[in-house]
A and B are shown apart, each in its own frame.
Chain A
Amino acid sequence: MNEQDKPRKVRIGWFSFACCEDNTIVMTELLNDRWQEWRELFDFRHARVLQTNNVLDQMDIAFIEGAVAGEPQAQEIREIRKLATLVVAIGSCAVTGMPSAQRNLFSDEQKQDVGFLVERFGHLDQVLKLSDVIKVDAEVPGCSMDPQRFLDTVDSAVAQVRAGWASEK
């Protein structure tokens, strides 16, 4: 098949912020049954777990896991939002902030104990969920994410992207 005859790939970004990266591991487990399909379907523009040569450029879908714990993270997330047609929040920390945001609920005594570290390392006073920082198009909750719900969301997002391509023609 000539290059021009190959189906257009969906440009994907996979990003992790303040979290345990459990959804990344679930995604790599989903590859066990889908690696042949996904490598034909997706152009991984940015997926640090899979490759070294990552570029932050135009994406059809950006998957973001993790809460937002520092201003540099918030800036990077805003940049991703500008570049992505769709942004999907992946997993509990991105969707609700928890458990990465557990310090928001600490007692005054606990907050005092960790306060110097929050300050020293320039963390935000409050850990934020993704939708506190940017507009989110879809969410896959769960700690870790529910695999079937993720796959359904991927199908839906890919269909939306392709519908957009069709309307461009």
Chain B
Amino acid sequence: MHSQDISLDAICKVEGHAKLDLRIRDGKVEHVHYQIQEYKRFFSKAVEGKPLAAIPPLLSRICGTCSNAHVMCAIEACENAVGLQPSPQTMDLRHLTMYGLNIRDHALHLYIFVMPDLYGKDNFLSFDENDEEQHQHLHDCFEIKAAGNYLAQIVAGRSVHATYPTLGGFNHLPSKEEIEEAIRKLEAARPAAMRCIAIFERCDWSFDRDMDYQALVPKGSYWFLDGDVVTSHGERYGEKRYPDLLEHVVLPYSTASAYTHEGRPFMVGALARLNLAQETLHLQTRESLGRTLELFPSTNIYRNNLAQAIELLHSIDHAIELLQGREFAVEAPIRPEIREGEGIGVVEAPRGTLYHKIVVGEDGLVRRGEVIVPTGQNQINIERDIAGLVDGLLPDTDRPTIEHEIEKLIRAYDPCMSCATHFLKVDWDLV
């Protein structure tokens, strides 16, 4: 394969669609354009003129799978804009909302999207129930997903587009019976999460190279809602300083925004989080993992799958502790003041750092909004990695294998093009 144009029409088993143009000249990759091609829905424009309370449910609709992360991020931005400080109970419920999301979303990615590649299958549902290992994975997948889904339902109302969280609190609390049932389901799912970790620890896929990364690093426990953004070079940025952290890059072939830090691409996601904050994982998680954590920090992008599996276990362990450790008392949500202000929200969505900015006027109506999603931040790193991967496979690898390896690599990032795109179609351009 000296020079050619190749078109791969759809990367599957990812959220949303994107397109990839790959041009190979004289046996070397000349360019990779990872094109985020979502038909724009203009959410950051649609927030203008709306009252603060309408913003979280509206921005939730940016993305189905990440919706509850958008709800949490928008609430934080809106509350910060008017100086509202949520109660400790509200923060616990928000952490539980994020744990429900991460359990459901990571399990979807690891089992439905990635695991078929481990077993040479096309579709997870085609796993063989008569094969002991595959039978176990089928049951583990749906048990873990159901536990995360149930946790999200009782705490946040729904696992997609949560209805209970609002500015200043929650408008519904889980009952004692629901909490007991959630604990039972999470405890039952824990052995499945351990098996998931073992599978991805054994996985020998490797694409390793120098890589920058960054994540929101919490001050206390390993969670997804607060802290400072820390880079792989040890720089620490408070949430308000995010414009100093991210440089917006316009890719003319993409409908989404891309970003660099100090002119260099970087990675966000579970791997970055685990590299930077593994010592804050839940104690029981760390004790159960033993020497597995010695695999981190890692710059092998496929270790993002293992990092997600570890986050599954942490989310289960910490969710159980939070559910067991508190009596949830009725609290009316704190009403936000109507005043002028600007607020930043930063959370760790399942696939990386998510930023919302809201500017509100003295009439309580939103003037401007900004949303920066993880897949946009990963976009240039993904392009760079595809180029490196394909260069390493040329000239002796056949085209279907190259296309499959590209898909595997993209899946390892767990991109969400609904946040940023639709449709991955690879156009190979070789002469």
Binds B, one of A81-89, A106-114, A131-139, A151-159: A106-114
Residues in chain A near residue B72, CB distance under 8 A: none
Q: Which residues of B contact A (CB under 8 A)?
A: 10, 12-13, 15-17, 37-42, 45-46, 48-49, 58, 61-65, 67, 104, 108, 112, 116, 122-126, 138, 142, 145-146, 149, 158-161, 255, 407, 418, 422
Find the residue from A24, A32, A103, A117 having the highest chain B CB count within 10 A.
A32
Q: A33-B146, A35-B138 are in contact. Are A106 and B40 (CB under 8 A)?
A: no
Is B122 touching A51 in the complex (CB atoms < 8 A)? yes
Is B45 touching A18 in the complex (CB atoms < 8 A)? no
Q: Which of B45, B104, B112 is in CB contact (< 8 Å) with A110?
A: B45
Q: Which of B45, B104, B255, B418 is in CB contact (< 8 Å) with A106?
A: B45
Chain B min CB distance to A115 (Å): 11
Chain B min CB distance to A21 (Å): 4
Q: A52-B12, A123-B39 are in contact. Are A29 and B161 (CB under 8 A)?
A: no
Residues in chain A near residue B122, CB distance under 8 A: 51-53
Residues in chain B near residue A35, CB distance under 8 A: 125, 138, 142
Smallest Cβ-Cβ distance to A123: which chain B residue: B39
Is A29 touching B149 in the complex (CB atoms < 8 A)? yes
Is B64 touching A25 in the complex (CB atoms < 8 A)? yes
The DSSP consensus for interface residues of chain B is loop
Find the residue from B40, B112, B145 having the highest chain A CB count within 10 A.
B40
Chain A min CB distance to B375 (Å): 13
Chain B min CB distance to A113 (Å): 6
A-side interface residues, number (CB < 8 Å): 45
Residues in chain A near residue B41, CB distance under 8 A: 18, 69, 99-100, 102-103
Is B124 touching A24 in the complex (CB atoms < 8 A)? no
Residues in chain A near residue B142, CB distance under 8 A: 31-33, 35
Report the Cα distance A58→B294, complex, angstroms: 51
Q: Does A160 contact B (CB under 8 A)?
A: no
Number of A-B residue pairs at CB separation under 8 A: 133
Is A25 touching B112 in the complex (CB atoms < 8 A)? no
Binds B, one of A2-10, A42-50, A161-169: A42-50
Report the Cα distance A56→B46, complex, angstroms: 35
Report the Cα distance A91→B159, complex, angstroms: 16
Is B61 touching A39 in the complex (CB atoms < 8 A)? no
Q: List 6 additional contacts besides A23-B64, A48-B10; criterion CB under 8 Å.
A: A16-B422, A21-B65, A25-B160, A52-B122, A99-B61, A100-B39
Q: Which of A33-70 contact B (CB under 8 A)?
A: 33, 35, 38-39, 44, 48-54, 69-70
Report the Cα distance A145→B115, complex, angstroms: 28
Report the Cα distance A38→B65, complex, angstroms: 22
Find the residue from B10, B15, B42, B149 having the highest chain A CB count within 10 A.
B42
Report the Cα distance A114→B42, complex, angstroms: 8
What are 21 A-B contacts with C-beta separation under 8 Å?
Answer: A16-B16, A18-B41, A20-B63, A20-B67, A24-B64, A25-B64, A29-B104, A29-B159, A31-B125, A32-B149, A35-B138, A39-B125, A44-B123, A49-B112, A51-B122, A99-B41, A102-B46, A106-B42, A106-B46, A121-B39, A144-B161
Is B39 touching A50 in the complex (CB atoms < 8 A)? no
Report the Cα distance A90→B380, complex, angstroms: 34
Q: A48-B10, A110-B45, A110-B48 are in contact. Are A21 and B16 (CB under 8 A)?
A: yes
Report the Cα distance A52→B410, complex, angstroms: 14
Find the residue from A29, A31, A35 having the highest chain B CB count within 10 A.
A29
Residues in chain A near residue B58, CB distance under 8 A: 99
Chain A min CB distance to B374 (Å): 15
Question: Would you list the 3 A-B pairs with minimal beta carbon distance, nearest first?
Answer: A22-B64, A69-B39, A51-B123
Residues in chain A near residue B12, CB distance under 8 A: 48-52, 54
Smallest Cβ-Cβ distance to B46: which chain A residue: A102
Chain A min CB distance to B11 (Å): 8
Report the Cα distance A110→B368, complex, angstroms: 12
Q: Which of A16, A52, A107 is in CB contact (< 8 Å) with B13?
A: A52
Smallest Cβ-Cβ distance to A105: which chain B residue: B46
Residues in chain A near residue B407, CB distance under 8 A: 52
Residues in chain B near residue A106, CB distance under 8 A: 42, 45-46
Q: A35-B125, A102-B41, A114-B42 are in contact. Are A54 and B10 (CB under 8 A)?
A: yes
Chain A min CB distance to B140 (Å): 12
Residues in chain A near residue B49, CB distance under 8 A: 107
Residues in chain B near residue A39, CB distance under 8 A: 125-126
Is B15 touching A21 in the complex (CB atoms < 8 A)? yes
Chain B min CB distance to A142 (Å): 10
Is B13 touching A50 in the complex (CB atoms < 8 A)? yes
Is A121 touching B123 in the complex (CB atoms < 8 A)? no
Q: Does A126 contact B (CB under 8 A)?
A: no
Report the Cα distance A70→B46, complex, angstroms: 19
Chain B min CB distance to A29 (Å): 5
Residues in chain A near residue B65, CB distance under 8 A: 21-22, 25
Q: Does A28 contact B (CB under 8 A)?
A: yes
Chain A min CB distance to B189 (Å): 11
Smallest Cβ-Cβ distance to A110: which chain B residue: B45
Is B149 touching A102 in the complex (CB atoms < 8 A)? no
Report the Cα distance A18→B417, complex, angstroms: 11
